[in-house]
Chains A and B, each alone.
Chain A
């Protein structure tokens, strides 16, 4: 049976992609996993691997036009007999398709027969209730649907179930003794690609400063107006820092900028991305137009975004358009760290935990709650003094948070 080569969905919000280069030619013998072609999405260029081994044919032409996700762009004719290229063991082994088995065999539930043959697994997969999208997602993520409990009617597996399963998969993998290869899920793939690109191409430099957090904490503990009390979520330090950073950024345009070719775009509005983790995946939802919103508004918006991330219902629009990012690992006990800039932004602020630290005040050594802020800047846009002035203003804003509202 010939194997379809499709234009895969490699990006969360991807609907189509442009084939920029074929790495193979019609008639070439390809191995499963070999890079077949590059596709360009609205975010990046991705390599697409061969879904099977054999001789490739009927390559879609390179037209520069977007091709819908799922479109067949080529075919691989499997080798005449599987045994021809594989060491023949048994007839059964030869009949096993070359596609990788489900990545987490060990995680099979106890109710499943451990020694289930490939054939049995295929048969049971046929009787699984799953939506077309869930089946597609399972194919893309190389997940075995039989491992998943569906949340739809009559146990139907929907896409959300597959995504959640795939997201949990790495944790389970740690329980295993054997080395295993886990395919990136789409979220991870984007993160990996973008951060690698940033680390490779952006000349980072780092400035750190210790900032006293006492006044900010006190301000956040103050009760809000009574009428707002019932549904007023207490603002978190993270959101408050996003709020303050946003106001300071409005005065430091080079820190709220991005590179475009040989030019710098200074953004009129300040959209602050806040890095958050969900089950091992990094998401950076964006708080919009921070300087023109109150802290309460930002708190509500952030709560909505975080809930969406948890439910894996965050839409691409909520993660686009950031002009600056903050990443707070204080709650994980980290003292200080440096972060990689989220391209195409020009800077990212990494925040460590707040620790009571001896500091000199008026000739006395006193304990003060201090946190280490580390700003990573793109040296193509930002110089040391520019960054230092930003840090100084940020310190002023955090240590004297008057008018926090």
Chain B
């Protein structure tokens, strides 16, 4: 599977992650009148995190639709609109609120195409601001993406850069399947190069953010950013880390991970979701089951969220999810001592 190096194609202009998403939405809505955005407070308010911004004024109330606080209802509405010719983009205000919409996403959206023998498609996109670090505490800070990566019929992506936030959104809108985009609240203000054209980042392709030979660090979303920062520090200690930004959790670009492990012989998986039963467990097991196993020169290591609800106190909150220092330390131990 093709991968790309860190630098996106020549782009002179910088946008924030939120602006990049908004630009992608606007371009999709301009290009295809079937596309519409809806969700709680996405209209005049501009979205809880300001992502929809001025779209309400640009596209009007029929294409940027404020909904009642009815997560289950609006998730189902996305399903209904999608199977009858529209391309809805649903914003769930916080990814935690997806718990209220599970039925429609898991039982309906994910299964309709299969259950109906391929007779209907569900081209809907759900945008979910997730992750911790804002002091929003236990019910507004979770990273629940692994739940959905467990469901056949769904696609799950997690952009880490403004470039990928726009490119994955446009790819998701094109996709005939339900795609969940887990955006990270801490990344909305981060800036980076974003081409103006409506380019796509293919779903299911990881990006190698840094080439290295001593160990492979796999992460997505903000963890890919922290892994890259950690790798830069590790280089000063003569530890040459390869950093893979998954970008998509489902489908998972396993070939890229396995090729890297065959090269570096060590694997560290970093993710914000609770460590046990998570993405790290899956990647770890896939490596153990594959021929890449024979190339491991140290046990696979995982850094994941602590086994607690996200705490409010900022010190505790930071301690509950992997930070850059944790990644540096774990990578160092893995390379120098043979275990993290």
Q: Would you give the shortest CB distance from A350 to chain B, in whole angstroms?
A: 32
Question: A131–B338 Cα gap in the complex (Å)?
Answer: 10
Question: A380–B183 Cα gap in the complex (Å)?
Answer: 62
Tell yes or no: A136 within 8 A of B by CB: yes
Question: A153–B339 Cα gap in the complex (Å)?
Answer: 7
A133 proximity list for chain B (CB < 8 A): 265, 294-297
Question: A152–B298 Cα gap in the complex (Å)?
Answer: 9
A136 proximity list for chain B (CB < 8 A): 294-295
Q: Are A68 and B296 in contact (CB under 8 A)?
A: no
Q: Would you give the shortest CB distance from A186 to chain B, in whole angstroms?
A: 14
Q: Which of B281-309 contact A (CB under 8 A)?
A: 291, 293-298
Question: A148–B337 Cα gap in the complex (Å)?
Answer: 18
Task: With a 10 A CB-CB cut-off, give which of A70, A132, A315 has the most chain B CB atoms.
Answer: A132
Tell yes or no: B259 within 8 A of A by CB: yes
Residue of A whose beta carbon sits closest to that of B339: A153
Question: A189–B37 Cα gap in the complex (Å)?
Answer: 62
Q: Would you give the shortest CB distance from A136 to chain B, in whole angstroms?
A: 4
Knowing A69-B262, A159-B265 touch, does A132 contact B338 (C-beta < 8 A)?
no
Q: Are B339 and A131 in contact (CB under 8 A)?
A: no
B295 proximity list for chain A (CB < 8 A): 70, 132-133, 136
B265 proximity list for chain A (CB < 8 A): 131, 133, 159
A297 proximity list for chain B (CB < 8 A): none
Residue of B whose beta carbon sits closest to that of A159: B297
Residue of B whose beta carbon sits closest to that of A133: B297
Question: A137–B338 Cα gap in the complex (Å)?
Answer: 17
Mask: chain A, 118-160; 1 = CB below 8 Å from B; 0 = not: 0000000000000111111000000000000000110010111
Knowing A153-B338, A156-B338, A159-B297 touch, does A315 contact B213 (C-beta < 8 A)?
yes
**Out of A68, A70, A131, A315, which one reaches B297, CB within 8 Å?**
A131
Q: Are A134 and B297 in contact (CB under 8 A)?
A: yes
Q: Would you give the shortest CB distance from A139 to chain B, in whole angstroms?
A: 9
Question: A158–B339 Cα gap in the complex (Å)?
Answer: 12
A160 proximity list for chain B (CB < 8 A): 297
Tell yes or no: B263 within 8 A of A by CB: yes
Knowing A15-B262, A68-B262 touch, does A153 contact B296 (C-beta < 8 A)?
no
B contacts with A, residue count (CB < 8 A): 15
Tell yes or no: A99 within 8 A of B by CB: no
Q: Are A70 and B263 in contact (CB under 8 A)?
A: no
Mask: chain B, 238-272; 1 = CB below 8 Å from A; 0 = not: 00000000000000000000010011010000000
Q: Would you give the shortest CB distance from B312 to chain A, in whole angstroms?
A: 37
Question: A135–B294 Cα gap in the complex (Å)?
Answer: 8
Question: A136–B263 Cα gap in the complex (Å)?
Answer: 14
Q: Are B337 and A15 in contact (CB under 8 A)?
A: no
Question: A134–B291 Cα gap in the complex (Å)?
Answer: 14
Q: Are B263 and A15 in contact (CB under 8 A)?
A: yes
Q: Would you give the shortest CB distance from A159 to chain B, in whole angstroms?
A: 5
A132 proximity list for chain B (CB < 8 A): 293-297
Question: A147–B139 Cα gap in the complex (Å)?
Answer: 56
Tell yes or no: A71 within 8 A of B by CB: yes
Residue of A whose beta carbon sits closest to that of B259: A15
Question: A97–B215 Cα gap in the complex (Å)?
Answer: 36
Chain A interface extent, by class: 10 to 19
Q: Are B291 and A153 in contact (CB under 8 A)?
A: no
Q: Are A152 and B338 in contact (CB under 8 A)?
A: yes
**Out of A71, A159, A315, which one reaches B291, CB within 8 Å?**
A71
Q: Are B259 and A70 in contact (CB under 8 A)?
A: no
Residue of A whose beta carbon sits closest to that of B299: A131
Q: Would you give the shortest CB distance from A15 to chain B, in whole angstroms?
A: 6
Residue of B whose beta carbon sits closest to that of A158: B297
Knowing A152-B338, A153-B338, A315-B213 touch, does A158 contact B294 (C-beta < 8 A)?
no
Q: Would you give the shortest CB distance from B3 to chain A, in whole angstroms?
A: 14
Knowing A15-B262, A131-B297, A158-B297 touch, does A68 contact B291 (C-beta < 8 A)?
yes
B298 proximity list for chain A (CB < 8 A): 131, 152, 158
Question: A153–B263 Cα gap in the complex (Å)?
Answer: 22
Q: Would you give the shortest CB distance from A67 to chain B, in whole angstroms?
A: 10
Q: Are A153 and B337 in contact (CB under 8 A)?
A: yes
Q: Would you give the shortest CB distance from B172 to chain A, in whole angstroms?
A: 31
Q: Would you give the shortest CB distance from A328 to chain B, in whole angstroms?
A: 28
A152 proximity list for chain B (CB < 8 A): 298, 337-339
Q: Would you give the shortest CB distance from B75 to chain A, in whole angstroms?
A: 42
Mask: chain A, 70-100; 1 = CB below 8 Å from B; 0 = not: 1100000000000000000000000000000
Q: Which of A150-200 contact B (CB under 8 A)?
A: 152-153, 156, 158-160
Question: A191–B291 Cα gap in the complex (Å)?
Answer: 28
Question: A131–B297 Cα gap in the complex (Å)?
Answer: 5
B293 proximity list for chain A (CB < 8 A): 132
A70 proximity list for chain B (CB < 8 A): 291, 294-295
Residue of B whose beta carbon sits closest to that of A70: B291
Q: Would you give the shortest CB distance from B242 to chain A, in whole angstroms?
A: 12
B262 proximity list for chain A (CB < 8 A): 15, 68-69
A156 proximity list for chain B (CB < 8 A): 338
Question: A223–B293 Cα gap in the complex (Å)?
Answer: 52
Question: A132–B297 Cα gap in the complex (Å)?
Answer: 6
Mask: chain B, 303-340; 1 = CB below 8 Å from A; 0 = not: 00000000000000000000000000000000001110
Q: Which of B167-214 contact A (CB under 8 A)?
A: 213
B339 proximity list for chain A (CB < 8 A): 152-153
B294 proximity list for chain A (CB < 8 A): 70, 132-133, 135-136
A71 proximity list for chain B (CB < 8 A): 291
Q: Would you give the shortest CB distance from B215 to chain A, in whole angstroms?
A: 13
Q: Would you give the shortest CB distance from B296 to chain A, in whole angstroms?
A: 5
Question: A156–B299 Cα gap in the complex (Å)?
Answer: 11
Mask: chain A, 307-329; 1 = CB below 8 Å from B; 0 = not: 00000000100000000000000
Residue of B whose beta carbon sits closest to that of A315: B213
Question: A15–B262 Cα gap in the complex (Å)?
Answer: 7
B263 proximity list for chain A (CB < 8 A): 15
B213 proximity list for chain A (CB < 8 A): 315
Question: A68–B295 Cα gap in the complex (Å)?
Answer: 12
Question: A71–B295 Cα gap in the complex (Å)?
Answer: 12
Given A132-B297, A133-B294, A160-B297, 16 other A-B residues pairs in contact with their CB atoms under 8 A: A15-B263, A68-B262, A70-B291, A70-B295, A71-B291, A131-B296, A131-B338, A132-B295, A132-B296, A133-B265, A133-B296, A136-B295, A152-B338, A153-B339, A159-B265, A315-B213
Q: List 14 A-B contacts (CB under 8 A).
A: A68-B291, A69-B291, A131-B298, A131-B338, A132-B293, A132-B294, A133-B294, A135-B294, A136-B294, A152-B298, A152-B339, A156-B338, A158-B297, A159-B265
Sort A-B residue pairs by CB-CB distance and give the 8 closest, nearest first: A152-B338, A133-B297, A136-B294, A70-B291, A132-B296, A131-B297, A159-B297, A132-B294
Interface residues of A (CB under 8 A from B): 15, 68-71, 131-136, 152-153, 156, 158-160, 315
